[in-house]
């Protein structure tokens, strides 16, 4: 299908299409999917990555919200039994139902930037896939891999780094897209830890603590533990816990490592 047969890119759906063939191939090569693999692609769009995946992987599940594009891929899938199309919002549809082994699946996507953070957590819902490769804004890539004590380190960094190994693979300049977006991008790889380091409940508690802490990122930790409405710890317990963990009561949230956040959330519960 020629470019002209597609309707105009829809800004509301974050449609900035990757037109650089070399980068398309580089991303697909980094995914490293073979005939044994089940792959989920979020937002195939006009097929920048899809075209390089089709026929090369065991199963390809395409999740697309745009009506016209979903129809286009559904038509393509009619004569390709290994391709499934899920027409809907990735934040709502259950794309895992199309997979035989969701915990082994690989996920790839040049994803709509307006939903990046919630989408990352959605893709990391259990059973988590084996690996996730995403094109994200450079600034989000920085936050994902940020170490403690840096400006970019925050709830996203702790949330993802506490359950997965995250790496920024390479940068992608804005000119590789049409229409050209306002920001540069980067490809990141997220590889969930195996076995799961935390129970689902422990992870939920950790998320609550991290959210509260970074809402008040300028405050000192002891104050947050005592005064944040979602925590409200008794002073004696908070002091005992901080001493036990060797964390300064005056520390700011952005100086705590994911491991320290995990220990703290376990202590709050205990």
If binding is defined by CB under 6 A, does position 172 make contact with ligand SAM? no
Q: Which two tokens stand for residue 174?
A: 């804005």
Comparing CA positions, the residue from 260, 256, 220 lying closest to residue 244 is 260
Window 78-117: residues binding ligand SAM (CB under 6 A): 89-91, 110, 112, 115
Residue closer to ligand SAM by CB (options 44, 102) is: 44
C-beta closer to ligand SAM: residue 70 or 256: 70
In terms of CB distance, is 64 or 254 closer to ligand SAM?
64
* Per CB under 6 A, 64 contacts ligand SAM: yes
Q: Kindly tell me which residue out of 63, 83, 136, 141 binds ligand SAM, with binding defined by CB under 6 A.
A: 63
Q: Contact with ligand SAM (CB under 6 A): which of 16, 116, 157, 265?
A: 16
Record the tokens describing residue 82, joined without a space: 């290994």
Closest approach of Cβ 64 to ligand SAM, in Å? 5
Contact status: 66 vs ligand SAM (CB under 6 A): yes
> What residues line the site for ligand SAM (CB under 6 A)?
13-18, 42-46, 48-49, 63-66, 69, 89-91, 110, 112, 115
């Amino acid at each position: 299908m020629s470019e002209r047969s597609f309707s105009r890119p829809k800004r509301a759906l974050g449609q900035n299409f990757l037109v650089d063939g070399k980068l398309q191939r580089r991303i697909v090569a980094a995914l490293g999917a073979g005939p044994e693999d089940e792959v989920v692609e979020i937002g195939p769009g006009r097929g920048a990555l899809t075209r390089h995946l089709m026929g090369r992987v065991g199963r390809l599940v395409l999740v697309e919200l745009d009506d016209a594009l979903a129809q286009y891929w559904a038509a393509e899938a009619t004569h390709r039994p290994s391709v499934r199309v899920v027409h809907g919002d990735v934040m709502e549809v259950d794309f895992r139902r199309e997979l035989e082994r969701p915990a082994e699946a690989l996920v790839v996507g040049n994803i709509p930037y307006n939903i990046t953070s919630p989408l990352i957590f959605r893709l990391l819902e259990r059973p988590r896939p084996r690996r996730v490769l995403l094109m994200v804004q450079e600034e989000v890539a920085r936050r994902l891999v940020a170490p403690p004590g840096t400006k970019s380190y925050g709830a996203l960094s702790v949330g993802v780094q506490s359950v997965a190994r995250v790496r920024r693979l390479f940068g992608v300049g804005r000119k590789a897209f049409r229409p050209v977006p306002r920001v540069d991008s980067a490809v990141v790889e997220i590889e969930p830890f195996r076995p799961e380091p935390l129970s689902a409940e422990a992870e939920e508690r950790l998320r609550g603590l991290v959210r509260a802490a970074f809402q008040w990122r300028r405050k000192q930790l002891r104050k947050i533990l005592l005064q944040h409405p979602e925590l409200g710890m008794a002073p004696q317990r908070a002091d005992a816990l901080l001493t036990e963990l060797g964390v300064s009561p005056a520390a700011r949230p952005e100086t705590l490592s994911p491991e320290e956040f995990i220990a703290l959330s376990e202590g709050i519960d205990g």
